[in-house]
């Protein structure tokens, strides 16, 4: 009797699961769908803006509910991997392209959905270089849809440089000379900020130096050529430069020291533009108002005027660096969710929604669609940055998106393995070992090469 | 058969039925993960495809990695340092707090503050205090007192980070030790000290021959608990320092950062578990004398 009851109970459980499964499948064309949207925009004001966009979308599409989940950039790979193994992938995610490509090569993404969407918008609407970063090994397909991007460079105190008679920090020699000149730890003054903590920022800074010395990870056939004299030279230079950093391992947060007039140069993306220009944004980085005892400084309204950006670094060749943030459709195996996510992305690319999104961080979020870049509504940002920096300077920055160089693209060919190396943070760990643990450059390079080979 | 069942047997049956749901929940939440963990430590775990059996390869990889042994050493120093520190500081404070003085009640409760404050907020306060450029610690040490010639990054520097983490843990956790010891101290019969006084025993002898034996088992249990807790400690160290790889953090990096390697992660956890269990068995037999 008992056994019969147990069997009946199990049968009911199995049937109800099967039914529930069939239910979601049937929702492909009708019925409510809830999708998760992972974004790397974790700041509350940005999430509020995204919330408004989502609300508008939901009013227009009452059957679709979009749940926005903020995920830290450094945690993205970890979160994706764990949710893939748990079978709880989101329907849509927004992340740096090296990450989305790494997910794509790991088979976590629905490439067809991304390719369809790009073709739907029109591939020639996008900047060429930007699309290339998303291409799969086999031509014509894309891992993810480019969404917005930033360019990186050295931001520096033009007034200090002028007074000291130094050249702008473009060539290797000029950069290190200036860093040494302004480094005065006894007076709490530092020369430059480059990443030395084992996280993504260190790789972003270092990539530009490696590229400017013609050092790559792979040749065009995908062979690992990391351990080269050019790479070694770039690392040695980087380690020397890092001596003029503020003490200890540093990451992008130390840009505050620049805003406090304690540093001459720092690597940063164009995201810094509004922090520099707007007092209320910068106030959060300052301490003097809250802690009068500390030798802080209050906001310097002339900082924008005195700050310049050097987007290109040169040694044996010119190199620029930036990152495109892309939208990807994880392979959830649920057609209804993917269709809903596609619909949402299509909406995000509609001019009104797109411009609203980009205006969250003018300067930092730049359009990947050519038409939007020259759209007068886009050029009238609420914070007045275009006005502040001038439309020409902004156009120059946006155009820079088209010529981003990364380890993952060699002679216009994308090398998938580079993304895996990026997401495993091997280069940042190597930089940490050299600059913080005192490991020799040769030994650290051997270590890194061995780690890279393990991944292939 | 049924009729011969006594009332006692019935009671026992009822007892089993009552604990059954809880037992099932505990088994499925604790035993099941442990078993899966042991199994996956022998596999190369793939997130999308089937797992492949690799035998002891995960273990071999770990044991041959010098970073692993380094993190074992760091963990040992951390555990020994924090356990000694919390116990000694807790003992000292408990003895002082056992004396009568004005406002003792207030002071006793204030001491508990580090223990009850949320880790997250406390860690960020520490980070701010030790910030090399803007932090108050360097400001006082370098600018005001001139004890050091240059500012340095106490938390970030890999050589000093371990010691900061140890001091942090002692500061954060000694109130627990203090609380336990104080409770025991209050239960010691005062007449023993009076008798010792009459016999002419000094302060040190009283401490050595009355207080310590009375505290022996409390101290023994506290040390054991602290070792277990700090051997597996993750959040304090991960949040406070930038790259201090104790075993749990080393495991986290191996298992979850970038390309996931759950097989190796599982093997690491098993090794960590084995080390801890080995210690506990030894300790319980030798020190707690069970």
Give CA separation, A327 vs A36, A145, B252, B257, in Å: 13, 5, 27, 21
pLDDT attached to residue A299:
63
Minimal-distance CA residue of chain A relative to B241: A249
φ and ψ at A232, to 5 degrees?
-60, -45
What average pLDDT does range B17-25 have in this prediction?
93
Query: What is the spatial distance between Cα A447 and Cα A275, in angstroms, rounded to a whole number?
Result: 38
CB-CB under 8 Å, A436 with B155 = no
pLDDT attached to residue A283:
55
Using an 8 Å Cβ cutoff, are A412 and A132 in contact?
Answer: yes
Query: Quick check: B49 pLDDT over 50?
Result: yes
Query: Quick check: A47 pLDDT over 80?
Result: yes
Q: Which range is most confident: A190-199, A268-277, A390-399, B261-270?
A: A190-199
CB-CB under 8 Å, B139 with A185 = no
Give CA separation, B74 vs A124, A126, A245, B71, B258, in Å: 55, 51, 27, 5, 24
Which of B:89-148 have CB within 8 Å of A?
132-134, 136, 139, 143
Query: Taking Cα atoms as reference points, which of B158, B122, B246, B71 lies closest to residue A249?
Result: B158
Query: What is the spatial distance between Cα B160 and Cα B168, in angstroms, rounded to a whole number?
Result: 12
CB-CB under 8 Å, B243 with A294 = no
pLDDT attached to residue A92:
96
Which of B:12-71 have CB within 8 Å of A?
47-48
CB-CB under 8 Å, A455 with B151 = no
pLDDT attached to residue A1:
46
And the tokens for A193? 């900020």
Using an 8 Å Cβ cutoff, are B52 and B223 in contact?
Answer: no
What average pLDDT does range A380-400 have in this prediction?
77
Interface residue B258 vs chain A (CB under 8 A): yes
Using an 8 Å Cβ cutoff, are B263 and B43 in contact?
Answer: yes
Question: Which CATH topology does B65-286 take?
Answer: MetI-like fold (1.10.3720)
Mean pLDDT of chain B: 89
Q: How far off is chain B from A192, nearest CA to CA, in Å? A: 13
And the tokens for A176? 């290190």
What are A280-313's pLDDT values in tens digits?
Answer: 555 555 544 444 444 445 667 778 778 888 888 9
pLDDT attached to residue A456:
79
CB-CB under 8 Å, A197 with B242 = yes
Minimal-distance CA residue of chain B relative to A251: B242
Q: Which residues of B192-217 are buried (b: 16+ CB within 10 A; e: fewer)?
A: eeeebeeeebeeeebeeebbeeebee
What average pLDDT does range A101-130 have in this prediction?
90
And the tokens for A440? 């020799």
Query: Quick check: B55 pLDDT over 50?
Result: yes
Using an 8 Å Cβ cutoff, are A202 and A427 in contact?
Answer: yes
To test the contact with chain A by mutation, choose from B44, B47, B66 the residue with the greatest count of A C-beta atoms within 10 A, namely: B47
Query: Quick check: B43 pLDDT over 70?
Result: yes
What average pLDDT does range A383-389 have in this prediction?
76
Q: Which of A106, A247, A432 sits opposite B243 (nearest CB)?
A: A432
Query: Quick check: A342 pLDDT over 70?
Result: yes
| Percent of the residues in chain B that have a pLDDT greater than 70, as a whole number | 97
What are B254-277's pLDDT values in tens digits?
Answer: 887 766 678 888 999 999 999 999
Query: What is the spatial distance between Cα B112 and Cα B122, in angstroms, rounded to a whole number?
Result: 14
Query: Taking Cα atoms as reference points, which of B132, B133, B131 lies closest to residue A257?
Result: B133
pLDDT attached to residue A288:
46
Q: How far off is chain B from A250, nearest CA to CA, in Å? A: 8
pLDDT band at B88 (very low <50, low <70, confident <90, very high): very high
Q: Which of A77, A250, A296 sits opposite B258 (nearest CB)?
A: A77
| CATH code of the domain made up of A151-321+404-454 | 3.40.190.10
Between A441 and A300, the more confident residue is: A441
- A33-149+323-398 classified as CATH 3.40.950.10: no
φ and ψ at A365, to 5 degrees?
-105, 110
pLDDT band at A16 (very low <50, low <70, confident <90, very high): very low
CB-CB under 8 Å, B242 with A186 = no
pLDDT attached to residue A169:
94
Give CA separation, B279 vs A246, B155, B267, in Å: 42, 30, 19
What average pLDDT does range B231-245 have in this prediction?
89
Q: At what angle do helices B212-231 and B158-186 cross, to 10 degrees?
A: 140
Mean pLDDT of chain A: 85
And the tokens for B22? 């809880």
> Strand locations in A234-388, DSSP E?
263-269, 307-310, 313-314, 318-319, 321-328, 366-367
What are B105-121's pLDDT values in tens digits?
Answer: 899 889 999 999 999 99
Query: Quick check: A400 pLDDT over 80?
Result: no
pLDDT attached to residue A364:
85
And the tokens for A433? 């070992």
Q: How far off is chain B from A240, nearest CA to CA, in Å? A: 17
pLDDT attached to residue A238:
97
Query: Quick check: B28 pLDDT over 70?
Result: yes
What are B111-163's pLDDT values in tens digits?
Answer: 999 999 999 999 989 998 999 988 899 889 888 888 888 888 888 888 889 99
pLDDT attached to residue A306:
85
The residue ranges of every structural domain in chain B are 65-286
pLDDT attached to residue A296:
47
And the tokens for B99? 């004396």
User: In 10 A of CB B40, how many CB atoms?
Assistant: 20
CB-CB under 8 Å, A249 with B242 = yes
Query: What is the spatial distance between Cα B38 and Cα B59, in angstroms, rounded to a whole number?
Result: 12
């Amino acid at each position: 009797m008992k056994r019969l009851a147990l069997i009946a109970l199990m049968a009911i459980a199995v049937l109800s699961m099967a039914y529930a499964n069939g239910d979601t499948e049937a929702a492909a064309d009708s019925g409510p769908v809830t999708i998760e949207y992972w974004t790397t925009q974790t700041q509350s004001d940005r999430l509020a803006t995204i919330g408004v966009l989502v609300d508008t979308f939901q009013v227009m599409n009452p059957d679709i509910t979009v749940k926005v989940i903020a995920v830290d950039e450094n945690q993205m790979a970890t979160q994706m991997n764990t949710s893939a193994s748990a079978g709880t992938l989101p329907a849509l995610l927004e992340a740096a392209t090296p990450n989305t490509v790494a997910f794509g090569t790991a088979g976590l993404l629905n490439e067809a959905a991304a390719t369809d969407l790009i073709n739907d918008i029109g591939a020639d609407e996008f900047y060429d270089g930007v699309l290339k970063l998303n291409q799969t090994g086999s031509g014509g397909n894309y891992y993810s849809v480019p969404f917005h991007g930033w360019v990186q460079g050295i931001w520096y105190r033009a007034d200090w440089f002028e007074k000291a008679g130094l050249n702008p920090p473009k060539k290797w020699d000029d950069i290190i000379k200036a860093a040494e000149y302004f480094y005065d730890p006894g007076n709490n003054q530092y020369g430059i900020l480059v990443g030395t903590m084992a996280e993504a920022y260190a790789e972003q800074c270092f990539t530009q130096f490696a590229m400017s010395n013609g050092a790559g990870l792979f040749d065009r056939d995908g062979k690992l050529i990391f351990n080269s004299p050019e790479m070694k030279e770039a690392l040695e230079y980087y380690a020397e430069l890092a001596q003029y950093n503020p003490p200890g391992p540093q990451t992008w947060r130390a840009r505050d020291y620049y805003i406090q007039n304690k540093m001459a140069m720092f690597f940063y993306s164009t995201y810094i533009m509004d922090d520099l220009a707007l007092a209320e944004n910068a106030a959060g980085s300052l301490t003097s108002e809250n802690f009068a005892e500390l030798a802080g400084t209050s906001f310097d309204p002339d900082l924008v005027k005195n700050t310049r950006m050097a987007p290109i670094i040169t040694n044996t060749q010119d190199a620029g660096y930036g990152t495109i943030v892309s939208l990807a459709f994880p392979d959830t195996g649920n057609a209804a969710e993917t269709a809903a996510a596609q619909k949402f992305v299509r909406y995000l690319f509609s001019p009104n929604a797109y411009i609203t999104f980009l205006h969250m961080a003018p300067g930092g979020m730049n359009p990947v669609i050519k038409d939007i870049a020259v759209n007068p509504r886009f050029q009238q940002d609420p914070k007045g940055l275009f006005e502040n920096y001038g439309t020409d300077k902004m156009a120059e920055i946006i155009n820079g998106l088209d010529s981003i160089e990364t380890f993952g693209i060699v002679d216009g060919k994308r090398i998938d393995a580079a993304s895996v190396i990026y997401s495993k943070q091997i280069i940042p760990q190597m930089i940490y070992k050299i600059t913080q643990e005192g490991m020799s450059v040769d030994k650290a390079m051997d270590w890194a090469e061995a780690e890279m080979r393990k991944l292939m | 058969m049924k009729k011969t069942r006594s009332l006692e047997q019935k009671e026992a049956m009822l007892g089993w039925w009552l604990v059954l749901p809880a037992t099932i929940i505990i088994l499925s939440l604790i035993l099941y993960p442990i078993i899966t963990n042991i199994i996956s430590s022998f596999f190369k775990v793939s997130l999308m495809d089937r797992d492949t059996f690799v035998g002891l390869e995960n273990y071999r990889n770990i044991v041959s990695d010098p970073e692993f042994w380094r993190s074992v050493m760091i963990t040992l120093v951390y555990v020994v340092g924090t356990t000694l520190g919390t116990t000694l500081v807790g003992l000292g404070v408990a003895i002082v707090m056992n004396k009568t003085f004005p406002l003792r009640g207030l002071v006793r409760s204030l001491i508990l503050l580090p223990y009850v404050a949320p880790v997250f907020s406390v860690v960020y306060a520490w980070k701010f205090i030790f910030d090399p450029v803007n932090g108050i610690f360097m400001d006082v040490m370098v600018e005001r007192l001139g004890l050091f010639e240059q500012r340095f990054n106490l938390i970030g520097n890999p050589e000093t980070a371990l010691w900061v983490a140890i001091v942090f843990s002692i500061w954060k956790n000694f109130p627990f030790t203090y609380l336990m010891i104080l409770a025991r101290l209050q239960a010691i019969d005062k007449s023993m000290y009076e008798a010792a006084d009459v016999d002419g025993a000094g302060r040190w002898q009283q401490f050595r021959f009355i207080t310590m034996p009375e505290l022996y088992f409390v101290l023994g249990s506290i040390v054991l608990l602290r070792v277990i807790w700090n051997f597996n400690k993750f959040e304090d160290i991960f949040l406070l320092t930038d790259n201090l790889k104790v075993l749990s953090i080393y495991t986290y990096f191996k298992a979850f950062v970038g390309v996931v390697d759950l097989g190796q992660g599982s093997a690491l956890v098993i090794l960590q578990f084995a080390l801890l269990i080995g210690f506990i068995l030894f300790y319980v037999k030798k020190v707690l004398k069970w």
